[in-house]
Chain A
Amino acid sequence: MADKQPPAGDNRPKLALHVPEPKYRPGDAVDYSDIDIGEPGSMSRPDETCSPDTMRDHAYGLVRVLGDDDNAAGPWDPRLSPDTLRTMMRNFAMVRAFDERMFRGQRQGKTSFYMKCTGEEATSVAAAMALAADDMVFPSYRQQGILIARGYPLVEMINQIYSNKGDKLKGRQLPIMYSSREHSFFSISGNLATQTPQAVGWAMASAIKGDSRIAATWVGEGSTAEGDFHSACTFAAVYNAPVILNVINNQWAISSFSGFAGAERTTFAARALGYGLAGLRVDGNDALACYAAQQWAANRARANGGPTLIEYFTYRAEGHSTSDDPSGYRSAQEREEWPLGDPVMRLKKHLIALGEWDEERQEAMDRECAELVKAATKEAEKNGILGHGLHHPFRTMFQDVYEDIPWHLEEQAAQAKHEREVKWPGEEPWS
């Protein structure tokens, strides 16, 4: 009798695995009506020293300043002077011109790889402008806007992209993985999210030393799934590190939509709540909101108020990189219908609405930026382009692995030198 009974638990409901699927695939019509973007100006601006547990709404809502009427509204309006807004506009124009030219350069075979930040310019340019020049930044790979906002020479950027003999990094890094200590810009790693605990460590060091400089880091929403990001949040919270954790939610991580990092369940800003971090969710295509949020977080960090996690809700308008074709995995309409528009256009229209700008000046500025980038490209090309032989002296390959070159690397360097003498007799082997 007992063995005739069904196995225990047979009457329980069958479990099913959920595999996230983006709402739209190529060819699909796009409907963004479910995204609640809220009213510009409607979100309160808490005191910078407030307790994180009062910020629930800020982690789920959206801080917005610029409205459809192109005017700034509400308590988050940073009230920037027209000159500052024009500087921001110029940084935008420069980033666009730079991306455009470098993308083409890659297609022309001058380098192996490039990554644009189109549509996300505000998350780096406006954020960088809200920091002090000597605040340390630990960016990911789509924050060229920070270097441009900090006045890093374009020629240096292009030398790096071409891995030529002018490249300060001696041709060792993938294009766009810049480093500039002088500009308080940390060396970029290709391993995602590794920079996030490092930024926290730098901020902790600054606090240990009684310094006044803070740190900020940028990470993609896809990469927040890495353990490093969660370690960073824990350490930031535990030690009240003066750090800003910027999460760029551009909806896509190569071909994986944000759902694969958990976006179907909650916002990225809401991650902050469980750690006891201040969390802000911001319209990432609203340059004024981006500036205001970063400034708020910087003030908070400087006042020992603690770390902030900011999610910038934005959209990656272009492909992931020169190696990617997004038409293979997402609807072409997504970009066109993105409900938060384009950050550069929105700022331009705002400046025009203020009576501080016009289309003619914009065109002249765009042209000027394109010319400057072109000139910088020409200048950098004198140092060589990738694969055309004008690179750093050969011996540098064995340098900087350690502070001093150990015997085994000396031996390997001698071998490399010998090989070159065999291949190219009569030439200076170390050149």
Chain B
Amino acid sequence: MIEAINDALDIMLERDPDVIVMGEDIGYFGGVFRCTAGLQEKHGKTRVFDTPISECGIIGVAVGMGAYGLRPVPEIQFADYIYPGLDQLISEAARLRYRSATEYIAPLTVRSPFGGGIFGGQTHSQSPEAIFTHVAGLKTVIPATPYDAKGLLISCIEDNDPVIFFEPKRIYNGPFSGFYDKPVEPWKRHADSVVPEGHYSIPLGKARTVTEGEQLTVLTYGTMVHVTEAVCREQGIEANILDLRTLVPLDIEAIEESVRKTGRCLIVHEATRTSGFGAELSALVTERCFYHLEAPVERVTGFDTPYPHSLEWAYFPGPVRIGEAIDKILKD
């Protein structure tokens, strides 16, 4: 997935002279996760450069660059550190088009690795996507495969609205099954790891059907796509798993179609439960598919605590939590 992201950035830097890549350690060194490796050498120091450790500055400067006419792609080293730049995203980038009646826009794509499962402790593991989905004017995109990472990132950079692009860092190097005691497969052996060369894009607002099934619908994204898939495979459950890919705009059609077909719905995300994006999904499904539902909508999420370093696997929504929720839904 890292190579796919690097490839997308490389292609966009090549195609569009207005694309600028910036962030802490992303230049010479190529980023702490190596997502920007080699880009500075290839595209030069004024297109790809390091920034001071100032998230407020990174996003604020990117808004100004967007107003000039550039397409900045700032990296926030970890999603946990996006908060110092939050005001610039929420009050400035998100509303610039609206408040100026289209005189100015902020076409930035903020890339940031998010989620846990790498023993990052409470300051390197958070999933803050719900904060952004709550903000009018922002789009929130989360890929789950290398193929999607490249195609979606290209779409985000080409999009004229500010986008938050969260990269599930647990699956940077391979799809994670959730069985943390089993060896992690590399992407190489995964079907969605095949990344075509050159430019292609995946439209924002379109979910991906991961597996077809009649027993229940699972709405999920990011790392949890793979965890859910593995649980269903282990337990022989035929689930209709939807990888949402973009939370805003959301593919409501795919969701409704699937839930109407299966009559049962499970929502899985890693972020804390209360006021999480799962609450929004649950409300939507209930509002729109109530008479098709044969069981209450269930949520599997992280707990409402900070991410505990030593107890990471107790926190992580893994096979047990998902399996039991599926059992409960199917029993009704």
Contacts and interface: CB of A to CB of B under 8 A. Distances in A.
Contacts of B64: 138, 197-205, 215
Interface centre among A173, A199, A204 (most CB of B within 10 A): A204
B160 A205 contact: no
Contacts of A179: 99-101, 103-104
Contacts of B56: 197, 227-228, 231
B227 to A, nearest CB: 28
Given A201-B60, A232-B57, A169 B100 contact: yes
A189 B91 contact: yes
28 contacts: A168-B101, A172-B99, A172-B101, A181-B104, A189-B99, A194-B60, A194-B87, A197-B57, A197-B64, A198-B60, A198-B64, A200-B57, A200-B64, A201-B62, A201-B67, A202-B67, A204-B64, A208-B47, A227-B56, A231-B60, A238-B52, A400-B98, A402-B97, A403-B97, A403-B160, A403-B161, A406-B248, A407-B249
Interface in B56-106: 56-57, 59-70, 72, 84, 87-88, 91-92, 96-105
Contacts of A406: 205, 248-249
Interface of A: 136, 138, 168-170, 172-173, 177, 179-181, 186-187, 189, 191, 194, 196-209, 215, 227-228, 231-232, 234-235, 238, 400-403, 406-408
A232 to B, nearest CB: 7
Contacts of B70: 205, 208-209
Given A189-B91, A235-B57, A170 B250 contact: no
A168 B101 CA distance: 7
A173 B99 contact: yes
Given A194-B88, A198-B63, A208 B20 contact: yes
B139 interface: yes
Contacts of A400: 97-98, 101-102
B57 A234 contact: yes
Nearest to A402: B161
Contacts of B62: 201
B103 A180 contact: yes
A231 B70 CA distance: 20
B332 to A, nearest CB: 29
Interface of B: 20, 46-47, 51-52, 54, 56-57, 59-70, 72, 84, 87-88, 91-92, 96-105, 136-137, 139, 159-161, 205, 248-250, 252
Given A200-B64, A406-B249, A401 B57 contact: no
A187 B91 contact: no
Contacts of B47: 208
B156 to A, nearest CB: 13
Contacts of A196: 60
B97 A401 contact: yes
A366 to B, nearest CB: 33
Contacts of A187: 96, 99-100, 103-104
B100 A401 contact: no
Contacts of B57: 197, 200, 228, 231-232, 234-235
Given A191-B91, A201-B66, 15 more contacts: A168-B103, A179-B101, A179-B103, A179-B104, A181-B104, A186-B104, A187-B100, A202-B65, A202-B67, A202-B68, A208-B70, A402-B97, A402-B137, A403-B161, A408-B249
B52 A235 contact: yes
B54 A231 contact: yes
Interface centre among B20, B68, B97, B160 (most CB of A within 10 A): B68
Contact of A401 (B91, B98, B160): B98
A376 B38 CA distance: 58
Nearest to B102: A400
Contacts of B54: 231, 234-235
Contacts, number: 145
Given A189-B92, A402-B161, A181 B61 contact: no
Contacts of B46: 207-208
Contacts of B51: 235, 238
B97 A169 contact: no
A173 to B, nearest CB: 5
Nearest to A213: B68
Contacts of A172: 98-99, 101
Nearest to A202: B64
B139 A402 contact: yes
Contact of A205 (B65, B87, B88, B248): B65
Nearest to B88: A194
Nearest to B46: A208
Contacts of A209: 68, 70
A118 to B, nearest CB: 27
Nearest to B17: A209
B52 A204 contact: no
Q: Nearest 9 CB-CB pairs, A to B? A: A201-B64, A197-B60, A231-B57, A201-B61, A205-B68, A198-B64, A187-B100, A202-B64, A406-B249
Contact of A169 (B68, B69, B99): B99
B69 A205 contact: yes
A136 B67 CA distance: 10
A238 to B, nearest CB: 6
Contacts of A401: 97-98, 136-137
B84 A227 contact: yes
A35 B92 CA distance: 38
A208 B65 CA distance: 10
B44 to A, nearest CB: 10
Contacts of B98: 172, 400-401
A204 B60 contact: no
B229 to A, nearest CB: 27
B246 to A, nearest CB: 10
Contacts of A206: 68
Contact of A201 (B63, B97, B99, B105): B63
A186 B65 CA distance: 12
A173 B87 CA distance: 18
Contacts of A408: 249-250, 252
A141 to B, nearest CB: 13
Given A170-B101, A181-B103, A238-B52, A194 B69 contact: no
A228 B52 CA distance: 13
Nearest to B49: A239
Contacts of A403: 97, 105, 159-161
A177 B84 contact: no
B198 to A, nearest CB: 25
